[in-house]
Amino acid sequence: MNSRFGRIYPGVGVVLVVMLSLALSGCALPPLSDRPESQSIPAQQTASTRLGRAIAPLAAEHPGDSGIVFLQNAYDAFAARALLAEGADATLDVQYYIWQADITGILLLDVLYRAAERGVRVRLLLDDNGISGLDDILAALHTHPNIEVRLFNPFVVRSPKWIGYLTSFSRLNHRMHNKSFTADNQAAIIGGRNIADEYFGAGSGALFADLDVLAIGPVVNELSRDFDRYWASASAYPASAILPEPGAEDLAKVVETARECSASTEASQYVCAVSESEFLKNLLAGDLEFVWSPVSMVSDDPAKVLGEKTEKGLMSRQLAQAMGNPEHSITLVSPYFIPTKAGVEMFQKLERQGVQVRVLTNSLEANDVAMVHAGYAKYRKPLLEAGVQLFELRKVPGEEPVERSLQDNLMGSSSSSLHAKTFAVDGQRLFVGSFNFDPRSVHINTELGFVIESPELTQLMENHFEEQARVTAYEVVLDEDGDLQWIERNGDEEIRHSHDPGVGVLKRMMVSVFSFLPIEHLL
């Protein structure tokens, strides 16, 4: 290699050697021998907190059941997290795949900081792949006596992170996709939302239409135990072991940055919009109504990222067992839907048994990952031939102000990209969580969710699907010649498209090329 590249391109050999040296020297993770231990505080010990006093009478009226509230509206979802943090007196356990340094990300970090200043113990567990631009801030927060930050499956080389893939791809390809926010082991939020503006309707960009649930009752204890499992796992590294050491004044700078962010015009407009949240109004008025039902938590063993998974520890296996065998219907909402051949065969079998299968996913114009769409597109015909009803969320570009009114449904606003992950079985059981119906969720990433045994909430989700899918989505069908068609309904008007609507020929060709690549197992 030296003789060839050294003569023709003298600098190439040097660059390659430097890159390889960086990769090899930076791939070793530090030891965890000095990592401090901590566990969630039992709910019995937080019963006297403000949250505990508010929740205990409700839980006492529904022994064994958990209370659930849907958080469909983006503003409600932000308000719920902020209020839980403001209301916590003892602990905050927070776990996310993505946390961005934008309006909502900085505002929520500031809420956690203020809770720590009140004496609340804050444990923040973040996947290291989704915290771009936050290294200095997280390192500074970690110095607070009441805040501990851990990075899950971290990159040792911080910039550029992609160098880590040169020697550690098999490890770094696995990510913690879980999302949870738990206060005083009394109330928790789980679902599809990460912490970034596009999930909470902030800024001027498009919204990710998503779904979270606020939970109280016994399932919160299950979630806290699961957080402990991830917190103590072999992939959770203290921020101080990975991030550059902060300066003495860095925490003060973080606080000042948060104050400046809060005072900005865009943030002020957003906070005003959140103040009109229906969730916030109902909570302050004492009118927040929980639906009480048996709820169980399903999650992957964190050892999955290290290749130490067991069948029993796989969430996909737990989820299949918890949802049972469908007898009448399945209604599935997944932004990244790659059924694989095995999934198509399963749906074919269900349809032959008389089970109605309906699926909502993103159209090509609404999908934020074209390669994932390519993994799905090749299965559309087999699914339709099997009798599956297939809907793809439309995306109608438009400029909306930050104060925009967000629809209270799974589809979100007209400029949305679907991000909710939920499915219902037989009008009786409902799953909500982080799990996509794709190979990455099944085999590669870790996931988390709730199985809710509530006909009321299940039917609510199915009614939203029924009412909205034909209005905000294309229905994909086969014409008389067996070719795909997309039906767009605008009131009484019906438009039929013969190819993926809303995108140019170049993007459609790119998706076609991607569909032939042998990468389905990575999607």
- Please identify which of the residues 142, 177, 373, 464 carries the catalytic annotation: 177
Calpha distance 215→84 (Å, rounded): 11
64-91 in b/e burial notation, b at 16+ Cβ within 10 A?
ebbbbbbbbbbbbbbbbbbbbbebbbbb
**For residues 437 and 229, what is the distance between their CA atoms, to the nearest angstrom?**
24
| Active-site residue flag, 179 | yes
Query: In the structure encoding, which two tokens stand for residue 416, read together?
Result: 């949305």
Distance between CA atoms of residues 181 and 192, nearest Å? 12
What is the distance between the alpha carbons of residues 145 and 467, in angstroms, rounded to a whole number?
50
Catalytic residue list contains 426? yes
Q: Element (H or E) spanning 84, and its range? A: helix 74-87
Which of 142, 373, 421, 464 is catalytic? The answer is 421
CA distance 44 to 32: 31
Gap between the Cα atoms of 66 and 514, Å rounded: 44
Active-site hit among 304, 395, 419, 464:
419
Q: Which two tokens stand for residue 93?
A: 């356990």
Measured distance CA(190)–CA(213) in Å, rounded: 6
How is residue 79 written in tokens?
């308000």
Residue 177 among the catalytic residues: yes
Q: Give the span between the Cα atoms of 490 and 396, in whole angstroms.
A: 12
Spot the catalytic one: 136, 426, 443, 497.
Answer: 426
161 is catalytic: no
Contact 126, 142 (CB under 8 A): no
* 94 to 36, 72, 212, 450: CA distances (angstroms): 17, 20, 15, 17
Given the residues 102, 127, 135, 179, the one annotated as active site: 179
**443 counts as catalytic:** no
Between CA 329 and CA 351 the distance in angstroms is 9
Catalytic annotation, pick one of 65, 76, 184, 301: 184
Distance, CA of 144 to CA of 113 (rounded, Å): 8
To the nearest 10 degrees (0 to 180), the angle between helices 165-172 and 10-26 is 40
Asked if residues 521 and 341 have their Cβ atoms less than 8 Å apart, the reply is no
Got the DSSP string for 179-229?
-EEEETTTEEEEES--BSHHHHT-SSS--EE--EEEEESHHHHHHHHHHHH
Tell me the residue type at 230. Answer: Y
Tell which residue, 520, 242, 243, 485, has the closest CA to residue 378.
Answer: 520
* Residues assigned a catalytic role: 177, 179, 184, 419, 421, 426
